[in-house]
């Protein structure tokens, strides 16, 4: 498939592709410094690195998503890249059938969460700000090391996945914090913290109180 630049590749597209049953996705772009769009390949690498960490976290083998580089004049390199990737995917087998930490129906469900995470605001700010964070620092002038950045990104992956799972859990109707915590085997305090944050941002609202627990539901979309 042709895209103008690997920078065009929206990481949420990769999640949708896997969700629909793709077994492997290979993205080939120019070498760093040779990008016809100046910095598109750096952007792609940053996006796909985070996507791979997320896939690993939600139970898919991250090897199924690869970012490789070669120039248009390097036929043999291209062949090597494609052959190696094909062999790798053959080895892993179809998605969710042994080659991944989770098995299929559950994995697909997790990939839905991954898609929501990758399409979301938080992760995209982190990816977008990767270069300035590593070079010039954040708005407080704190410069991160690669290691610190990865740790921060990992933390956001975990948090965002939990948040998206909670939101998905509320799609079918109001539920209590305890109930949510039980179904995702998450500590109650953690779910409570997420719910409070979501409430503050206007994503969820308390609907009614059953016994001593309030039931939360998705806030009606603004028109």
Partner 1 sequence: MPADKSDDIRIGVFICHCGSNIAGYLDMEALGTYAETLPNVAFVQRNLYTCSEGGINEIKKAIGQQNLNRVVVASCTPRTHEPLFRSSCGEAGLNPYLFEMVNIRDQCSWVHMQEKEEGTNKAKDLIRMGVAKAALLEPQKPIMSPVFPRALVIGGGISGMTAALALANRGYEVVIVEREGRLGGMLLDLNRLGPSMTDALQLAESTVKAVSCHPKITVFTGSRVTGVEGFIGKYSADIETPTGGKKIDLGVVIIATGARVFVPAGLYGYDAERVITQLEFEPRLKQGIDPSIKSVVMIQCVGARNEERPYCSRICCQTAVKNALLIKEKDPDTKVTILYRDMQMYGVENEEMFRESKAKGIRYVNYNPDRPPQVQAGSVLVYNALLGKDMELPAHMVVLSTPLLSREDSDEVGKLIRVPVDANGFFLEGHVKLKPLDFATDGVFLCGSARFPANIREAIAQGLGAASRASIPLSKGSVVVEPIISVLADMDACRGCGLCVALCPYGALEIQKTDKGRKVKVIDVACKGCGVCAATCYQHALTINSFTDNQIDAQIEAFLG
Q: HSE of 78 in the Cβ direction (CA atoms, 13 Å)?
A: 8
Q: Read out DSSP for 136-155?
A: T-STT-PPPPHHHHHHHHHH
Whose Cβ is closer to partner 1: residue 16's or residue 178's? 16
Closest separation in Å from C-beta 83 to partner 1? 11
Whose Cβ is closer to partner 1: residue 119's or residue 174's? 119
User: CA geometry: angle at 68 spanning 78 and 43, to 5°?
Assistant: 140
* Cα torsion angle, 101, 107, 110, 111, sign: positive
Whose Cβ is closer to partner 1: residue 88's or residue 124's? 124
Closest separation in Å from C-beta 85 to partner 1? 14
Calpha distance 67→81 (Å, rounded): 10
Closest separation in Å from C-beta 1 to partner 1? 6
Residue 201 to residues 194, 196, 197, 205, Cα–Cα distance (Å): 11, 9, 6, 10
Closest separation in Å from C-beta 82 to partner 1? 9
Calpha distance 5→35 (Å, rounded): 8
Whose Cβ is closer to partner 1: residue 39's or residue 183's? 39
Closest separation in Å from C-beta 167 to partner 1? 15
Whose Cβ is closer to partner 1: residue 99's or residue 216's? 99
Whose Cβ is closer to partner 1: residue 8's or residue 80's? 8
Binding site for partner 1 (CB under 8 A): 1-5, 7-13, 16-17, 20-22, 33-40, 43, 47, 119-121, 124-125, 127-129, 132
Query: Pick from 178, 212, 173: which is nearest to 195 by CA?
Result: 178
Query: Pick from 64, 72, 32: which is nearest to 48 by CA?
Result: 64
Closest separation in Å from C-beta 186 to partner 1? 24
Helix H or strand E encompassing 21: none
* Cα torsion angle, 105, 107, 108, 112, sign: positive
């Amino acid at each position: 498939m042709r895209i103008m630049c690997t920078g065009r590749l929206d990481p949420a597209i990769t999640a949708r592709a896997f969700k629909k049953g793709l077994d492997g996705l290979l993205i080939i772009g120019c070498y760093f410094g040779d990008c016809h769009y100046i910095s598109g390949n750096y952007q792609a690498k940053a996006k796909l690195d985070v996507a791979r960490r997320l896939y690993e976290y939600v139970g898919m083998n991250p090897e199924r998503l690869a970012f490789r580089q070669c120039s248009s004049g390097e036929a043999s390199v291209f062949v090597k890249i494609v052959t190696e990737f094909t062999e790798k995917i053959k080895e892993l087998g179809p998605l969710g059938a042994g080659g991944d930490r989770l098995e299929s129906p559950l994995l697909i469900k997790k990939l839905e969460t991954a898609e929501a995470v990758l399409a979301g605001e938080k992760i995209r700010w982190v990816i977008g700000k990767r270069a300035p964070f590593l070079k010039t620092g954040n708005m407080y002038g704190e410069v991160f090391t690669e290691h610190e950045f990865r740790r921060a990104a990992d933390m956001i992956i975990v948090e965002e996945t939990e948040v998206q799972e909670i939101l998905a859990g509320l799609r079918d109707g109001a539920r209590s914090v305890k109930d949510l915590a039980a179904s995702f085997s998450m500590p109650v305090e953690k779910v409570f913290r997420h719910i409070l944050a979501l409430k503050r941002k206007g994503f969820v609202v308390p609907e009614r109180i059953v016994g001593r627990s309030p039931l939360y539901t998705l806030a009606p979309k603004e028109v």
